[in-house]
Amino acid sequence: MQTLGHTFPKKRTESVSAVPVSRPVKTFATQSYLPEIVKGVGVSMKHFFTNIRDMIRDERPDPVINRFDVGITTIAYPEQRRLYPERFRGVHRLTQRADESVRCVACMCCSTACPAQCIYIEAGEYASGDSRRGYEKYPVKFVIDELRCIFCGYCVEACPCDAIRMDTGMHAVPYDSREQFIYSKDMLLSFTAGDGKQESENTRHEPGDATHPGVDRLHHH
Amino acid sequence: MPNYILYAIPKILIMVGFLFNVGGILTWVDRRQSAMIQDRVGPNRAVIKIGKFELRLWGLLHPAADGVKFFFKEDFMPPKADKLLFSLAPILAMIPVLCLVAVIPFGDTVCPDALIQTVGNVTQLPNIARSGLCTFDPRTGLQPIDLQIVSLDIGLLFVFAMAGQGIVSAAISGWSSDNKFSLMGALRASSQMVSYEVTLGLSVVGALMIYGTLRLGDMVRWQSEHAWGIFVQPVAFFIFFAALVAESKRIPFDLPEAESELVSGYFTEYSGMKFGMFYFAEYMEIVTSSMLVVTVFLGGWGLPFVHRDGITIAFGEGMLAQLPLPHLVVTVFGVLAFFIKTLTLCWIQTFVRWSLPRFRYDQLMGLCWKVLLPVSLANIFVTGVVWLLLDMAPPFVGNMLQLVGDATQGFVAVLVTFLVGSAVFGLFRSRTKDPRIIGASAELVRSAGKSPQSPMQA
């Protein structure tokens, strides 16, 4: 024992407090197995007849409100869907301006804020002659890897232009291959909000508009 | 062609048709019912679409879809399997089940010339006497028809002989599969079936002593004159029923195909329609065993107070009411009663499965050899002694017993009426809802009214 270099701890002398476990009493009733069968069948039958009645009367408990009641509370996805809260974060979309061009100005705020680093933006200048040239850029490429996305919504928080939103109400869909999860700019632009709109609630003030609050080439404050 | 063969064909069609259809439906019942018990939806997706019209039938098309799938699946055979025996086993599983129904009567003897009579221009449905066993009528050339494919003198013995053949298919399939799980499953199946076969046979000996016959039709006649077998031999009924469930290898006795231990027992290696035959034979075994229990213990085609001449409600000597019914009506009632009783018992055998845990193998054997077998032997002894004593008893005891027998008929009538009534009553009772709103999602749904519904919910 000593050669191993350690000794066993001394026997504990303090009393150990323990709660005695009550053992089940074996009576003839429990040993004969029959009363328990009757009880178990009774429970099964309660559920069975409740659900049969629901099936015949074509009514089910509400799968969300009455989800703890006896009865079938299965949601038959995808035909039937859970009611989502208003601020449910679905797949992203890029909002549009009044002229259906992309609202994003390629400021990189979203891709910077993204903890999963799933947004890739390639910024480009508007063509010469375009009234926006010199004020803002536009995304030549705007790619989101939905496989990396963790649906945290930081991109939406970070966006100064209300250009990216997660109000589509769509789930991230399972696909066959990884390439299919790479959502391009055109795809993101084609998505609509839950109410079918492609714009945003907040109106965009283009440079040159009378409502434009900032400084532009024509208006000096 | 002799007449009896001509008569046998529709009877075979009725019995085998019932067996196959109910066997198929039972596969659906087993799945859908388990869903209902466990608060799930269950199979409801099989659909026939004709344009916009969808035929869904609460998932009743699933057995058909299963059948189609069985035929189109790859018919795999392990390379080192014994080819002949491997293919023979599923056939041997089906044959005894189908043979067994040959001796089971599904109705009282029909007198063909008394079904419909035409006197002049008037067609009438005649009555026959209560004890009236019709004889061969030379004028019409019609013989009385037993509603039973063959009326064997050794009826019940034939049933046991056929039921015993199930072991052969289990043993052969396990041995020929070249798989240790299959072999162990077969080992368990054969030892379990051999053990329970003994109990099965001995449990009905008491009933046989009382009925005094092996003919199943005469057993039913005795029961409708006196009292159902379940009241005469209650202990035998329970042992017989338990042993039958064990014979058909269903929960709680499904050790031979215990999924958690043996994959699926002796038919692990089977696929396609060969598996389908095992699967189907198992469900048909439920039907045949239910028929057997109905015949031996639950009065067969008999209904309480219904005799060959009509309804006679009488307790001992005291007649309460009498309603003569035509022979045709009584016969149809009898056949319906037999099949409804069979279906009810099938249903009981399937729902018991979802409440009971599986035995351990030593418990299974202990239950058979240490409990059921001694009890069935004691039952034989007690029955014999009581039977002897009753033979020597003064006649008023016999009258008393007849009164008690009639009381059991009344009890059955009241009980069935009560159960059916309470089921119908329960249909109109609205469900009790928990009024509490628990959680944010429930509050959201409450504010919107209710969760979105869909038509896909049959």
Q: Is residue B246 part of a domain?
A: yes
Per-residue pLDDT at B246 exceeds 60: yes
Per-residue pLDDT at B423 exceeds 60: yes
Question: Is A47 within 8 Å of B37 when comparing Cβ atoms?
Answer: yes
Task: Compare B95 and A55 and report the one with higher pLDDT.
Answer: B95
Distance between first and last Cα of chain A: 91
Nearest chain B residue to A34, by CA: B356
CA geometry: angle at B312 spanning B311 and B316, to 5°? 155
Range of the domain at B318: 78-128+140-393
β-strand partners of A183: A144
CA geometry: angle at B96 spanning B92 and B101, to 5°? 150
Q: Which long-range contacts (CB under 8 A, 24 or more apart) does A74-81 make?
A: A74/B40, A74/B41, A75/B451, A76/B41, A76/B454, A76/B456, A76/B457, A79/B454, A79/B455, A79/B456, A80/B451, A80/B452, A80/B453, A80/B454, A80/B456, A80/B457, A81/B452
Per-residue pLDDT at A36 exceeds 90: no
Dump pLDDT digits (tens) for B147-205. Answer: 888 888 888 889 888 888 888 888 898 889 888 888 888 888 889 888 888 898 899 89
Question: Is B39 within 8 Å of A60 when comparing Cβ atoms?
Answer: no
Residues of B in contact with A66 (CB under 8 A): 433-434
Closest C-alpha to B73, from B273, B339, B232, B217: B273
A49 touches chain B (CB under 8 A): yes
* Phi, psi of A96, rounded to the nearest 5 degrees: -115, 155
Closest C-alpha to A144, from A94, A103, A109: A94
> How high is the pLDDT of residue A120?
93
Residues of A in contact with B40 (CB under 8 A): 72, 74
Give DSSP secondary structure letters for B92-124: HHHHHHHHHGGG---EEEE-GGGTSEEETTEEE
Dump pLDDT digits (tens) for B223-245. Answer: 888 888 888 888 999 899 988 88
ipTM at complex level: 0.82
Measured CA to CA in angstroms, residue B277 lies from B91, B159, B160, B272 at distances of 7, 21, 21, 9
From A8-22, B43-57, B377-391, the region with the lowest mean pLDDT: A8-22
Give the integer Cα–Cα distance in Å for B70 and B27: 14
Dump pLDDT digits (tens) for B126-151. Answer: 777 777 666 666 666 677 777 888 88
Per-residue pLDDT at B219 exceeds 60: yes
Closest C-alpha to A178, from A144, A145, A141: A145
For residue A87, the distance in angstroms to the closest alpha carbon of chain B comes to: 12
Give the integer Cα–Cα distance in Å for B148 and B166: 23
Grouping H, G, I as helix, E, B as strand and the rest as coil, residue A173 is: coil
Residue among B33, B39, B237, B367 with most chain A CBs within 10 A, to mutate: B39
Band (pLDDT 50/70/90 cuts) for residue B382 is very high
Grouping H, G, I as helix, E, B as strand and the rest as coil, residue B189 is: helix
Where do we find the tokens 């018990």? B37
> How high is the pLDDT of residue A1?
45
Residues of A in contact with B432 (CB under 8 A): 69
Residue among B47, B56, B451, B454 with most chain A CBs within 10 A, to mutate: B451
Nearest chain A residue to B432, by CA: A69
Q: Is residue B27 part of a domain?
A: no
B446 touches chain A (CB under 8 A): yes
A76 touches chain B (CB under 8 A): yes
Distance between first and last Cα of chain B: 50
Band (pLDDT 50/70/90 cuts) for residue A77 is confident
Where do we find the tokens 């000794």? A7
Instruction: Check: CB of residue B326 under 8 Å from CB of residue B127.
Output: yes
Question: Is A47 within 8 Å of B448 when comparing Cβ atoms?
Answer: no
From A154-163, A209-218, B153-162, B250-259, the region with the lowest mean pLDDT: A209-218
Tell which phi-psi region holds residue B265, choosing left (phi > 0), alpha (psi between -120 and 50) or beta.
left
Measured CA to CA in angstroms, residue B141 lies from B149, B150, B391 at distances of 20, 20, 42
Which B positions 352-371 lie with beta carbon below 8 A of chain A? 352, 354-356
A34 touches chain B (CB under 8 A): no
Name the helix (H) or strand (E) containing B424.
helix B395-427
A–B: how many Cβ contacts below 8 A? 105
For residues B2-23, average pLDDT: 84
Provide the token pair at B36.
Answer: 């209902």
* Phi, psi of A195, rounded to the nearest 5 degrees: -90, 5
A57 touches chain B (CB under 8 A): yes
Instruction: Check: CB of residue B246 under 8 Å from CB of residue B367.
Output: no
> How high is the pLDDT of residue A9?
66
Partner residue opposite A69 with nearest CB, options B433, B450, B458: B433
Residue A207: asked if its preceding bond is cis (omega within 30°), the reply is no
Band (pLDDT 50/70/90 cuts) for residue A12 is low
For residue B234, the distance in angstroms to the closest alpha carbon of chain A comes to: 15
User: How much of chain B exceeds pLDDT 70, in percent?
Assistant: 95
Give the integer Cα–Cα distance in Å for B452 and B458: 16
Environment class of residue B73 by beta-carbon count within 10 Å: exposed (0-12), middle (13-18) or buried (19+)? middle
Residues of A in contact with B37 (CB under 8 A): 44, 47-48, 51
Question: Is B36 within 8 Å of A51 when comparing Cβ atoms?
Answer: yes
From A9-13, A200-204, B336-340, B449-453, the region with the lowest mean pLDDT: A9-13
Question: Is B431 within 8 Å of A69 when comparing Cβ atoms?
Answer: yes
Question: Is A76 within 8 Å of B426 when comparing Cβ atoms?
Answer: no
What does DSSP assign to residue A183?
A: E
Closest C-alpha to A87, from A174, A148, A151: A151
Q: Is residue B26 part of a domain?
A: no
Residues of A in contact with B58 (CB under 8 A): 55
Give the integer Cα–Cα distance in Å for B97 and B23: 11
Average pLDDT score, chain B: 85
Nearest chain A residue to B242, by CA: A34
Residue among A30, A31, A44 with most chain B CBs within 10 A, to mutate: A44
Q: How many domains does chain B have?
A: 1
Measured CA to CA in angstroms, residue B26 lies from A12, B264, B283 at distances of 63, 19, 7
Partner residue opposite B450 with nearest CB, options A40, A43, A62: A62
Question: Is B444 within 8 Å of A83 when comparing Cβ atoms?
Answer: yes
Beta strands per DSSP E along A71-177: 93-94, 119-125, 137-145, 164-165
Question: Is A48 within 8 Å of B37 when comparing Cβ atoms?
Answer: yes
